[in-house]
Amino acid sequence: ERTTVLITGCSSGIGLGLAARLAADAARRFQVYATMRDLAKGERLLERLGGSCPDTLELLQLDVTDPCSLAAAAQHVQGQQLDVLVCNAGVGLMGPLETCSEQAMKTLFDVNVFGAVRTIQAFLPAMKSRRAGRIVVSSSIGGLQGLPFNAVYCASKFALEGLCESLAIILRPFNIHLTLVECGPVHTSFMANLQRPDPEGSEMQGLDAETQRLYRRYLGHCQSIFRDTAQEVEQVLPLFLEAIGSPCPPLRCASTQLLAPLCRLRLSSPDGSAYVRAMHDFVFGGTETGGEQP
Ligand code: NAD
């Protein structure tokens, strides 16, 4: 009996890498439903697997914001029991809060939060009735701590964290394990896909000069963090494989200890001000901007 796994967001990045890895498993332990919004983008996954679709893989259309497409995918999978659901689809949004449009914020929540909720809702009843299953959710370091100029993205990942931690409590008696995977920077199309205003562009007009300056500095910081510390998809896949395969998977696992000391500060200093100060200094430098007069 193969372990059946359905993954969302498989046209690129972590979803693509995970689907390819599982479908190409030498012991053929997995039956993979690699889902994506636009099936035409399945080519990359098939190329990765040598140009043809192995019998361990099926591509399925699934837009997590579209309840009809979810219902169709769930209908298709039904009959074959689903052992593992990987809610991976996600998008980013960066920039000063003042530049985030209502539409962009709603779209982000629709994919990152409600998309995961809808997907879980679609497959949970069958897992509950079988009293078995695994749910793996792509969270982020930004789900554990606030990051500058990522307020809306972090809000969506914090929402996922609260959602999943709450759900995990109820799933215990059903023998369903839920794991949140918190990646740091990973080389994928995420950064290219994410919406962010050009620091010299029209969205910045009317924004105060200090915020504009901080944003430019943040983009520089972001670039160097990515250059120096970003992981390859292959390096983060073991976290997903553990969540899928371990007899007793954790509720959370992080791909990097990069921001762990800052994260611990949130716990050791629960009023939060030490974290805010330390994160500000980490990103913008301690003395240069701290307490600077306009
Ligand atoms: P990515 O952009 O390569 O992959 C995200 C995938 O989600 C894309 O294939 C995209 O088409 C898909 N998607 C977007 N909207 C969708 C929708 N409505 N329905 C179905 N699919 C949709 O980036 P990635 O890095 O592989 O991202 C995967 C997950 O990892 C995301 O949830 C992201 O938030 C999280 N993450 C990424 C990083 C990073 O640095 N790359 C860090 C932490 C967390």
Angle between helices 67-77 and 115-130 (to 10 degrees): 30
Residue type, 9: G
Distances 193 to 94, 108, 187, 221 between C-alpha atoms, Å: 11, 12, 12, 19
Tokens 């979810």 map to which residue? 70
The two tokens of residue 291 are 């307490």
Of the CATH numbers 3.40.50.300, 2.20.25.240, 3.10.290.10, 3.40.50.720, which one belongs to the domain with range 3-200+232-258? Answer: 3.40.50.720
Mean pLDDT of 4-9: 98
Q: How close is the Cα of 206 to the center of ligand 1, in Å?
A: 31
Length of the chain: 294
State how far the Cα of 108 lies from the Cα of 75, in Å rounded to an integer.
Answer: 26
How is the chain split into domains, by residue range?
Answer: 3-200+232-258
Question: Is residue 273 over pLDDT 90?
Answer: yes
Q: What is the pLDDT of residue 80?
A: 76
Tokens of 270: 């629960």
Q: Closest by alpha carbon to 149, among 99, 109, 202, 94?
A: 94
The first and second tokens of residue 5, run together, are: 């796994």
pLDDT tens digits, residue range 157-213? 999 999 999 999 999 999 999 999 999 999 999 988 888 999 999 989 999 999 999
Of 117, 190, 231, 263, best ligand 1 pocket probe by most atoms within 8 Å of the beta carbon = 190
Residue 261's DSSP bridge partners are none
- Residue 35 forms beta bridges with which residues? 60
> Where residue 287 falls among pLDDT bands split at 50, 70, 90?
low
Model pTM score = 0.95
Band the pLDDT of 286: cuts 50, 70, 90: low
State the distance from the centre of ligand 1 to the C-alpha of 91, rounded, in angstroms: 5
Q: Quick one: pLDDT at residue 1?
A: 87
Q: Which of 253, 255, 252, 199 is nearest to 222 (CA)?
A: 199
- Residue 252 sits at φ, ψ, to 5 deg, of -130, 145
Question: Which of 6, 7, 14 is the best mutation target for the ligand 1 pocket, counting ligand atoms within 8 Å of the beta carbon and taking the most?
Answer: 14
Distance from the CA of 73 to the center of ligand 1, in angstroms?
A: 19
Ligand 1 binding pocket (C-beta < 6 A) is 8-9, 11-15, 37, 63-65, 88-91, 111, 115, 138, 140, 183, 185-186, 188-190, 193
Centre a 10 Å sphere on the Cβ of residue 221 and count the other Cβ atoms it contains. Answer: 16
153 is catalytic: yes
Q: What is the largest CA-CA distance in the chain?
A: 67
Helix axes 260-268, 273-284, angle to 10 degrees: 160
